[in-house]
Amino acid sequence: MTAYEVLVAPFAEFEFMRRALVGVLALSLGAGPVGAFLMLRRMSLTGDAMAHGILPGAAIGFLMSGLNLFAMTIGGLIAGLVVAVGAGVVARATQMKEDASLAAFYLISLALGVMIVSLRGSNLDLLHVLFGTVLGIDDATLLLIAGISTVTLATLAVIWRPLVLECVDPTFLASVSRAGGASHIAFLSLVVLNLVGGFHALGTLLAVGLMMLPAATARFFARDLTALVTLATLVAAASGVAGLLVSYHLGAPSGPAIILVAGCAYALAVLFGPVGGLIGRLVPRRHLEA
């Protein structure tokens, strides 16, 4: 097979592949930066919990209107925000730590969502909700994902400074500005938005994968924040394209293929990454070399 047949022909010949390509690239633009900040703020598991938290709302939307984009999107947004706010309220009003509170909400949400879909839908519907259908993206879903990515980039441009300061020194930010709380709420809203966009393509179980794996991979190659965000976005986009090609040529499910490609990139970064990779740590350094 020629390089054209392997890399270009699937997208040139099939419209559903082109739609999937545009969808994963749009997802990468929003998920890459958000994932990088989640990692820097040590909120990686928060993203995972919130990804499962959107399931009951999306399931209720499905129960009321079937596979209706608007109903499932609104339901997912409401459920995700309820989980984020509810876990925070429980953590602040009781002695329970926030990670334990999120774990409780995550387990309840996952079980409730699966139960709701199972009451009315078939096994195929359940698989669609849990794992998504990247190759079945339509025009409305593409517009939704592109809109979410646009809102994400615009909002990050506005809250960039307080968001960075809160990652580095939240105490200092609190002493000089009241923007920390507003930026935190705005950021959590962006997380929910991007998880809802990822839900339509990758399902609730895999939506967070395109957000966190590229960010974790980029951390082994970049120390600078701008470079980290840029590289995370590029890794997410490359994983999406490569995953679609693997799915096409091997006949594998597209969503898991994309996340597995991102996982392979992460494994290589752990081994060979110049910033803290295993191989680099085993190589002896000169005296006093950083």
Q: Pick the residue with more confidence: 246 or 135? A: 246
Residue labelled with tokens 């097979």: 1
Let me know: does 200 contact 141? Beta carbons within 8 Å.
yes
Let me know: does 26 contact 143? Beta carbons within 8 Å.
no
In angstroms, the Cα distances linking 61 to 71, 76, 249, 279 are: 5, 8, 34, 48
Query: Taking 60 as the threshold, does the pLDDT of residue 288 lie above it?
Result: no
pLDDT in tens, 176-220: 777 667 888 888 889 989 988 888 888 777 888 899 999 999 999
State the virtual CA torsion across 49, 52, 53, 57 in degrees, nearest 10.
Answer: 170
Q: Which of 42-51, 134-143, 169-178 has the highest mean pLDDT?
A: 134-143
pLDDT for 27 equals: 94
Lowest-confidence range among 47-56, 156-165, 231-240?
47-56
* Domains and their CATH numbers in the chain: 3-282 (1.10.3470.10)
Q: Please report which confidence band the pLDDT of residue 125 belongs to, taking 50, 70 and 90 as the band edges.
A: low
pLDDT for 289 equals: 53
User: What is the average per-residue pLDDT within 132-153?
Assistant: 89
Cα–Cα nearest to 240, from 211, 273, 269, 199 = 211
Q: Please report which confidence band the pLDDT of residue 284 belongs to, taking 50, 70 and 90 as the band edges.
A: low
pLDDT for 192 equals: 87
**123-131 and 179-206 helices, crossing angle to 10°:** 140
Q: Please report which confidence band the pLDDT of residue 84 belongs to, taking 50, 70 and 90 as the band edges.
A: confident
